[in-house]
Structure 1
């Protein structure tokens, strides 16, 4: 009989997290206890927030169901490796929709990974290469997890930073939030050496180190990290308004554009659509991205993008020998 109640509860929880219904007699046999003890242990799990449903009758039993909140999960080695690899791959390629919450989950998971599983995760990731790398620069998952942990723990963060012109600097910051634009990650932080708020492109960050020194978060001027990033890009002249029309339905165009560029709106008859968005990438790159839709389009603004598309067309024509 299992007399260690905490260990027995963990074993019971692990069994119940298998998606099936467990008869009370079978659980009692697995745990080496009486059915009455099983009932008591189920009540203990319920008190801890695990929604265990019981069904009556000769075929009745216990099943873990969805509740109002997400309780802690018990994962076996294979499940842990699969989740860690998936999160690290997504974080490294700045996938659209992988926001700060996902990176925090990765940080928590890697913090408690046993060394044997950490080695398996690293080995598997090093031995595989994705066919496509997405539209954005890749980022070391460790960089994101260190930064996310510093944000969550309110720890001062040191790192090396490479400016747009290639100038290297060292920064000491109070990290506020990580912001994903879909194609890139940015850190919004208070720069202690410059005594002001700054935004940092995470793909230009290296050697991040959480110092362990705690701080009380300052009030961000805009109240929202995403809004601060948007205004920062606008001030730096890195953003511009885009208006493009496509000779195809909106759903066709949307399926061929990255989500971070925005959603095209259909015209009245639904045979064409228009995209109005704010972009921060070089117009030359955006011209190529629009051409990759394989749909006829017309650039309405800005003038720089019109010129970029015209030059791209001329270059491709020359490349074809005409």
Structure 2
């Protein structure tokens, strides 16, 4: 078996991908460690039975943001595991994200580099507003900087 090849006893019945995953590793005891991508979680799976032995949640804030570009364009701008892209129409899509804080999510959405709309959660709306104000102050002459 080559590195990365699943054991032959795995079948599509036993292994079902429910969330994108970034990293996989099997230890000597047959436990598969899966680092979730957009789900912001990790799982430990018994490779013999497919049973999930443990789950760990890392992303505590989740959001869905409307991005005003086609899904294919947005997907190319995201790094692996950053978020899941869902097409809406020819000119927009939804991006599903998770992070530890709303401020982290605001930064993640901003670095996509295209126009977007945030309507919820309220923490993300406020974090995007704060990031925008911080960026505006960065461009103001020193005498105009306040807050």
For the aligned pair, the TM-score class normalised by the smaller chain equals 0.5 to 0.7
Specify which of 178, 192, 197 is matched with residue 33 of structure 2: 178
Counterparts in 2 of 1:107-118, with a 5 A limit?
A: none
TM-score (norm 2): 0.64
Does the 8 A contact of 2:69 with 2:93 survive in 1? yes
Specify which of 232, 251, 271 is matched with residue 91 of structure 2: 271
> For residue 62 of structure 2, what is the aligned residue in structure 1?
241
Q: Which runs of 4+ in 1 moved over 4 A?
A: 182-189
Aligned residues: 120
> What is the root-mean-square deviation in Å for CA atoms of aligned residues?
3.4
Larger radius of gyration: 1
Deviation at 1:281, TM superposition (A): 2.5
In structure 1, distance between residues paired with 2:106 and 2:117? 11
Counterparts in 2 of 1:1-322, with a 5 A limit?
A: 97-100=22-25, 151-153=27-29, 176-182=31-37, 188=44, 223-225=51-53, 228-229=54-55, 232-233=56-57, 238-268=59-89, 270-277=90-97, 279-321=98-140
SS in 2 for 1:316: helix
Q: Is the alpha carbon distance of 1:244 and 1:185 closer, same or farther for their aligned partners in structure 2, counting shifts above 3 Å?
A: closer
SS in 2 for 1:267: strand
Larger helix fraction of residues:
1
Larger strand fraction of residues:
2
TM-score (norm 1): 0.32
**More RCO (CA 8 Å, sep 6+):** 2
In structure 2, distance between residues paired with 1:282 and 1:240? 6
